[in-house]
Every structure is written in C-alpha cells, then in structure tokens.
Amino acid sequence: MATPMQARAADPAGTARSDAIVEVRDICKRYGDLEALRGINLDFERGKLTTLLGPSGCGKTTLLKIIAGLVPATSGQIRINGRVVTGPGPERAFVFQDFALMPWATVLRNVGFGLELKGVPQAERHRIARHYIGEVGLSGFEEKYPHELSGGMRQRVGIARAFSVNADVLLLDEPFSAVDEQNRRKFQEDLLRLVDKERKTFLFVTHSIEEAVYVSDRIVLLSPRPGRVSQIIEPAIDRTAAPDVIRRDKGYLDVVEEIWQGLRQYAE
C-alpha cells in the first residue's frame, strides 16, 4: 500500500540544500517590458525529480532555458556543480517543447548525436543509443526517419537522446505532451524507473497535476505575471506500491486536489 502522503508548504524563497547540483539564485527575467520571472530561488538535488507546475505563460520554459544556458537571465545566477552557468554544457541535457530532431537522420543517429559530437566511436555510440531507444519503447524503429514517426514517438526520441549523453542534469519540458493517455502512464513509470536507476537530477515540466504528483519528489508551483514560486509541495509516495494502488491512494488524491485548489484561481 502507499503510505499517506504529506503536502507541505515550504519556504517559497527556497532553502539551500547542501548536496544541491543545480542552484538557482535570485533569477529574474525580462523580455522587453514583460517581466517573465521574478526572484526565483531553488536548489535541485541528485537523484530527485522536481516538477515545475503552473499556468501557461508563468515562465516554466524560460526558467528551464536559463538553467540550460540557452537564454540569459536579466539578473541572478545559476550554478551547476558549483560552477556559474554562462552557456550550455555537457553536464546538462534537455528536451524542449519545440525541440527539433534532425529530419535527415535516422532514429539511431538522432539518439546518438550528442555522443557523436563528443567523438564517441560509432560502435559504442550505437550500443548506448540502442539501449535508450529500448528504454523509451522504440526498439524496431532505429532506422526510421522523424517524419515516419508520430509526435509522441518523436518526443521519445528526444528523451532517448537526452539520456544517452549521460548528463548529470536532465531538463524535460512537457516531454509527454504529444503522447496518448495509455502510453503516457507507461512513460511515467518508465521515467520513474530511470530516475531510480540513473541517480540524475531531473527538472520536469507538465500541465498535468496527476502526472506531477505521480512522478515528483517535489512540485514547485509557479504563479504568473511575473512568474514566482508560490508553493512547494513534496508528495511522499511509497514507490514500492503498484501504480494502480498509488493512483487510487487517498493521500495521492488529496495532494492532487490540494494542487488543483492552488491553481484554480488561474483558470480562465
């Protein structure tokens, strides 16, 4: 059985954690007149999955892109393993909403592309790529091209690519948004298995409250205009319980409801 879960409101400013891999300090972001993020302070630990949840436009993608080093912050600092971020780096891998695969390359080559850039020999590259293609349920599609895949399958190629480079930090921006409900549940379970096995730091974005509660060690609720941390919730799920037991657990359902109550004010 799943143990009862506690949702606890934490210090919205975020508390420093000694073993943090990713440190977000006083991040503010403006796009011209638009204030997208204000005063974000968060720490992310190894082996944990944190989900950013909040209404459209609250700055989730912006924060992930700042952490990825793809978008500069207006002020504040990101540190990864103690080093200040000034651009992208090999210790971070990402799957973004608008993430494009190379249309002229097979699934196998797309997944192994990060390794190709690092100069990993072909046999080793293919071995690693095939492993993660299997992990995301795409065995048999190695020689297909992106246009031969569905949107959900393309997202999974992106996930396999992110995993294959063996980065410390994985930034996953709505990686399951194009996946149907039955497969989505399977991927949530696959994701949990990878979190458990790989001991990496996961930052995840979803619009699904249920998905967030199911996969997360911690959920950061963001409020919009400007994007700010409004609440931090840690759903304590007993992961040894069967998925269908967890999904029916009263504690699980209570956390889903509590988050919905926190977000409903932003519904249009």
Ligand X SMILES: Nc1ncnc2c1ncn2[C@@H]1O[C@H](COP(=O)(O)OP(=O)(O)OP(=O)(O)O)[C@@H](O)[C@H]1O
CB of 11 to ligand X, least distance (A): 22
If one asks whether residue 30 binds ligand X (CB under 6 A), the answer comes out as no
If one asks whether residue 89 binds ligand X (CB under 6 A), the answer comes out as no
Angle between helices 122-135 and 151-164 (to 10 degrees): 130
Binder among 62, 110, 188, 216 for ligand X (CB under 6 A): 62
If one asks whether residue 3 binds ligand X (CB under 6 A), the answer comes out as no
What are the residues whose beta carbons fall under 8 Å from the beta carbon of 63, sequence distance 6 or more?
Answer: 24, 27, 29, 37, 40, 52, 222, 227
Residues 28, 37: contact at Cβ < 8 Å? yes
Binder among 57, 89, 137, 152 for ligand X (CB under 6 A): 57
CA-to-CA distance for 21 and 1, rounded, in angstroms? Answer: 32
Instruction: Name the region of 190 (left: φ>0; alpha: ψ -120 to 50; beta: rest).
Output: alpha
Amino acid sitting at position 162: A
If one asks whether residue 164 binds Mg ion (CB under 5 A), the answer comes out as no
Q: How far is CA 213 from the centre of its chain?
A: 13
What are the residues whose beta carbons fall under 8 Å from the beta carbon of 13, sequence distance 6 or more?
Answer: 39, 41, 229
If one asks whether residue 34 binds ligand X (CB under 6 A), the answer comes out as yes
For Mg ion, the closer of residues 10 and 28 by Cβ is 28
Token pair, residue 210, equals 């249920």
CB of 64 to Mg ion, least distance (A): 8
Question: Of 28-36, 43-51, 142-150, 251-259, which segment contacts ligand X by CB under 6 A?
Answer: 28-36
CB of 61 to Mg ion, least distance (A): 3
If one asks whether residue 56 binds ligand X (CB under 6 A), the answer comes out as yes
CB of 245 to ligand X, least distance (A): 31
CA-to-CA distance for 142 and 139, rounded, in angstroms? Answer: 7
Residues 12, 229: contact at Cβ < 8 Å? yes
CB of 181 to ligand X, least distance (A): 19
Question: Of 57-65, 106-114, 120-128, 147-155, which segment contacts ligand X by CB under 6 A?
Answer: 57-65
If one asks whether residue 235 binds ligand X (CB under 6 A), the answer comes out as no
3-state DSSP call for residue 52? strand
CB of 207 to ligand X, least distance (A): 6
Token pair, residue 249, equals 């657990």
Amino acid sitting at position 95: V
State which of positions 40-69 bind Mg ion (CB under 5 A).
60-61
Judged by the rule CB under 5 A, the positions of this chain that interact with Mg ion are 60-61
Judged by the rule CB under 6 A, the positions of this chain that interact with ligand X are 31, 34, 36, 56-62
